[in-house]
Amino acid sequence: MLISIYVFLPLLIGIMGYILMQGIEKGKLSYILIAVVYFINLEVNLSLPFFLTIISSLLVYVLFYCHLTYFRRCRICRPILSVLLLDALYLGSLLSYDFIFQSHSIVLDNILLYSLIVDLLVVVIL
């Protein structure tokens, strides 16, 4: 089954993953709840693998986010690197999922790049 994961609006996976990591780091339950509800809604409505975005976000938080604390002086570097890592890990895990289960969840083209650029611009604004 060939399913395109994008709509005309960007997916904002990186932003919501960053909000999830900020909620875990600061202990804000509202941030965590908003991000989890958004991820579940996105996965259900677009027929994506269930909980893959949450697992990818938690993997970035556990494996990489603690090392990004070295960028405390640069206020914009930490969010941008977090969003880039989240988007790259999610895309890699989604392509791995497709390879393992011999399915096609995404079509790679310029619209995916558009989603990444908008994701980065929104994190700069926040």
Per-residue model confidence as pLDDT tens digits over 18-69: 999 999 999 999 999 999 999 998 888 777 888 999 999 999 999 988 887 7
List C-alpha distances in Å: 9 to 5, 25, 70, 104, 121. Answer: 11, 28, 33, 21, 14
| Domain layout of the chain by residue ranges | 13-125
Tokens describing residue 41: 């809604």
- Look up the pTM and report it: 0.84
